[in-house]
Structure 1
Amino acid sequence: MVYTRKDKYPKTFAEFFAGIGLMRMGLERAGWQIAFANDIDPMKERLYSAHFQDDFPHFTLGDIHQIEEERIPTTTLATASFPCTDLSLAGKREGLSGKQSSAFWGFIRVLEDLGDRRPPIVLLENVTGFLTSHKGKDFEEALKALNSLGYRVDSFIIDAVRFVPQSRVRLFIVGQLESLMPEKLPAVSDDQLSLFYEGELRPKKLTDFILSHQDINWEIRALPKLPRNERLLPTIVDETPEDANEWWSQERVDYLINQTSEKHLRVIEALKNKSHYSYLTAFRRVRKGRSMAEIRSDGIAGCLRTPKGGSARQILLKVGLGKVKVRFVSPTECARLMGADDFNVTGSATEALFGFGDAVCVPVITWIADNYLTPLLNEINESLIAKKKELAAARQLADEFSKNQIAVESLESFISQNIEEISSFDNSNLKANFTELILLYNHRVHAVEIDKSLMIELPSNLTKEKNS
């Protein structure tokens, strides 16, 4: 049995693995309202609270495995951006059994414990490595876990570069309670599915998984094309004074440039001779045992990561007018790269970078809410209203039938008790006499003050006879 309300489901959500709250920012921009947030990291909780400054404390600090069901309010949507450490291609790929990513099962446990209060919609987010972790077994297991709780599932992939000047490819899963949806659409052929699925949102690797796992209870929805982003790297860069301490020493700059490939070195030299500044980004990576600086010069930043090591911090190069100036990407620039331009950045730079490196891109979430979650909620509410109308009509019909049946049975009983009198009616006087009988019956019902619904209305043909 699934929890339902008397009216309709509101646009409320519970945010698990909330981090610094960028999932919340994205949903609130689409008109959704926070009801609950949870994360295990006290540093992220401080950043979250410093930005939102809620009158009502939505944030519950603690391990998701330990949260009691009674502390979680009833909501329409639950979101989960669970840790990607064990799913990432850059990690050890321990999968959903790994120390960090196994937190997914804490989310499943919460949904299970909520029982009849289970949210109609869930939204999960993670790296695309989730799709291939343990040759797809982890992804399959996660989807089937949602199926077992009554959710049909859908999945798609979005690169944040469609919204901000950052390449950040993420996998999303949407689950919707089957019990609240209209009857499932008829099955279609694999060829039809392939034409429907493949595209930017569901590339071939995801389509192949869907087509090869038809035992999963899917509910694939058509989505509009992603927007075209015109915003490039210069639009998010801070105005940093030339003599600011953030800029690296020339010695450090030369060391970085010496770590670049010949191809990237030629790009830097060409831009250096321009009469204006250009902005590039770089990450340090180890290639064949050697530390290399990989430069990106297309006006797009690389994917922000948590600064767990020096190589994880993204580097900004300001090149032109005969100069090459270098510094790390700042926390406020990270906020803009995540579409959270107005985020109130507090704490140390390292704390802020940890917060943004683990977060979701705000406009991506808003787009999903506008084009998927809200339309889905509207369908659920429309279905709920239709079901309630059908139920009300059925109840009214049952009530009317019950009353009419009682009246008929009462009249039958009355006639049977007066059968001798009725048998004396002749055909010529039958209508008038039967009218008199019904009037007598109604008079007796009225006299003893029993349910007036038992009284029988004179048929129209008898009424005409009576009035003529």
Structure 2
Amino acid sequence: MNKFYEFFAGGGMVNAGLGDEWECLFANDFSEKKRAAYEANWGNDHFVPGDVGRVQLDQLPTQADLAWASFPCQDLSVAGNGAGLKGERSGTFWAFMKLIQQLREDRRKPRIIALENVYGAITSHAGKDFKAIIAALAAEGYRVGGMVIDAVHFVPQSRPRLFVVAVDEALQIPVALDGAQPTAAWHPRAITQAYGRLSKELRNRWVWWNLPTPKARRLTLEDIIEKEPQGVAWHSSDETWNLRRMMSDVNKKKLIEAQQAGRLRVGAVYRRMRNGQQRAEVRFDGVSGCLRTPSGGSSRQTIMVVNGEDVKSRLLSPREAALLMGLDHDYILPEFYTDAYHLAGDGVAVPVVAHLARHIFEPVLAQNQLQLTELPQDLAEAA
């Protein structure tokens, strides 16, 4: 069984994505509310709460095949404060890397490292933060490459995220995974430009990860909407009309077309400021906008359910938010709405983790299994 550490674990969505073939040796998060959710679903025998900067080397058992870190995005996000990796939140990346350095010195560094963050991490500080991330991983003896994977390939939510995967340079990467050039599906222009800004030495350590394209997604927003939602109430007719009045002509036209569709339609609504005026923008393409943490009312996604002339609206329910992240119906959510929505909006999409595990992590480990089991223990740990 493959073994992993889960840093910035939240509610354990990486654990959910990796599945039963993986064993979590260690999980950590600063939030007590997320800790409660994690332990409710995955147990408390391996969870170490608190600041990642206070995690001690002896709290990380044996050697992990994978160390996953979805480190905070606030300082790297386009909507953030621009502090980048020097910020209080996103700067916790360096505390994580200090542990990786200590593990290397202890001859048991993780064989694979996976990082997840917002798209803005690629361009933060004119690309200097991304370059610093790649350089830090390379300095610890890893080959590394970045991808942008949108959760919309798997679930009905538009959620493009940066994924950086690094493999111990002592291990072989299957030929099929190491592409000679970028692919349009996973390496948008921002990634290729970021690669171009790297030094020659770092480019020599770069991997153009060659992921297969998943099968066409069938699940739509209509499929996950609860008829009798828990934790939210339907808006009054006045509240729904206020939303409609906030729509521009373009969005009103979308609503009219949904009413004329002859079937139930579900739209995702966001409130945004446009030219100093609050507007309601709706999409009826079967996909929700990106879930966000509910720091303010506008960040909480509203849905509009349309059946002919009948138009209703309400907030997305906690269970619906969890389903949009790929969690199962039996995942135990926090009791309160804000806590549950925050847990989902701040997480990593479960099926994206599963896709990476199936097509990168597990093939790399399988390719090197003989080497890892036959070497003397001290050399195997150093590999």
TM-superposition CA deviations, 1:264-286 (whole Å, max 9, x none): 10121232244432100011111
Stretches (4+) displaced over 4 A:
385-388
Which residue, 33, 37, 41 being the options, matches 1:43?
33
Counterpart pick for 1:162 among 153, 156, 166: 153
Matches within 5 A, 1:203-242: 203-213=188-198, 214-216=200-202, 217-240=205-228
> Match of 1:346, SS?
coil
CA contact (8 A) 2:183 2:210 kept: no
In the alignment, the residues of structure 2 paired with residue 118 and residue 386 of structure 1 have an alpha-carbon distance, to the nearest angstrom, of 18
* Structure 2 portions without partners, runs of 5+: none
Aligned to 2:17: 26
2-structure distance, mates of 1:385, 1:323 = 64
Give the AA of the match of 1:209. Answer: A
The aligned residue for residue 131 of structure 1 is 122
CA distance in 1, matches of 2:128, 2:274: 30
Letter in 2 for 1:14: Y
Aligned equivalents of 2:155, 2:208: Cα separation in 1: 26
Alignment match, 1:178? 169
**From 329, 341, 347, the counterpart of 2:316:** 329
Instruction: State the alpha-carbon separation in 2 of the partners of residues 320 and 355 from structure 1.
Output: 31
Please say if 1:79 is aligned against 2:65. Answer: no
Distance between the aligned counterparts of 1:211 and 1:181, measured in 2? 25
Kindly provide the CA deviation profile for residues 6-49 of structure 1, in whole angstroms up to 9, marking residues without a partner as x.
Answer: xxxx50000000001101100125x2111110000001011111
- The offset of 1:198, in angstroms, is 3.0
1:260 aligns with 2:247: yes
Higher relative contact order (CA 8 A, sep 6+): 2
Moved more, 317-326 or 351-360: 317-326
- Aligned partner of 1:59: which letter? F
Question: Residues 98-113 of structure 1: matches in 2 within 5 Å?
Answer: 98-113=87-102
Of 67, 88, 92, 2:77 maps to 88
- Contact conserved, 1:50 with 1:346, CA < 8 A, in 2? no
Q: What amino acid is aligned across from residue 207 of structure 1 in structure 2?
A: T
Q: What is the rounded CA distance, in whole Å, between the counterparts of 2:370 and 2:77 in structure 1? A: 39
Show CA shifts across 1:405-440 (max 9, x none): xxxxxxxxxxxxxxxxxxxxxxxxxxxxxxxxxxxx
Question: Aligned with 2:219: secondary structure?
Answer: coil
Tell me how far 1:210 sits from its aligned partner.
Answer: 1.9
CA contact under 8 A between 1:28 and 1:34: conserved in structure 2? no
Q: In the alignment, which residue of structure 1 is the partner of 2:141?
A: 150
- Structure 2 partner of 1:121: 112
Q: How does 1:351-362 map to 2 (within 5 A)?
A: 351-362=339-350
**In 2, are the aligned partners of 1:159 and 1:170 still within 8 Å (CA)?**
yes
CA distance in 2, matches of 1:370, 1:59: 25
Q: Tell me whether 1:16 sits opposite 2:3 in the alignment.
A: no
| Whole-angstrom CA distance in 2 between matches of 1:12 and 1:57 | 15
Q: Secondary structure at the match of 2:163?
A: strand
* Inter-partner Cα distance in structure 2 for 1:136 and 1:123: 19
Superposition deviation, residue 226 in structure 1: 2.8
Deviation at 1:346, TM superposition (A): 2.9
Question: In 2, are the aligned partners of 1:39 and 1:45 still within 8 Å (CA)?
Answer: yes
Aligned partner of residue 115 in structure 2, secondary structure: strand
- Indicate the residue corresponding to 1:377 in structure 2: 365
| Higher mean displacement: 377-386 or 358-367 | 377-386
**1:304 alignment partner in structure 2:** 291
Alignment of 1:273-312 (within 5 A): 273-312=260-299
Cα distance in 2 for residues equivalent to 1:385 and 1:47: 36
Which of the two has greater helix per residue? 1
* Matched position secondary structure for 2:281: strand
More strand by share: 2
AA at the equivalent of 2:343: G
Q: Output the CA distance in 1 between the equivalents of 2:86 and 2:45.
A: 32
CA distance in 1, matches of 2:253, 2:171: 59
State TM-score, norm by structure 1.
Answer: 0.75
* Count of residue pairs the alignment pairs up: 367
Q: Which amino acid aligns with 2:201?
A: D
Q: Which AA in structure 1 matches 2:30?
A: I
Deviation at 1:121, TM superposition (A): 0.8
> Which amino acid letter does the alignment assign opposite residue 150 of structure 2?
D
Kept in 2: contact 1:198–1:204 (CA 8 A): no
What is the distance in 2 between the residues matched to 1:162 and 1:362?
A: 12
TM-score normalised by the chain length of structure 2: 0.91
User: For the residues of structure 1 that align with 2:211 and 2:264, how far apart are their CA atoms?
Assistant: 39
What does the per-residue CA deviation read over 1:240-274, in whole Å, with 9 as the maximum and x for residues that have no partner?
28xx9711011111111111110110121232244
Structure 2: distance between partners of 1:202 and 1:362: 21
CA contact (8 A) 1:84 1:127 kept: yes
- Asked if 1 retains the 8 angstrom alpha-carbon contact of 2:2 and 2:23, the reply is yes
SS state of the match for residue 123, structure 2?
Answer: helix
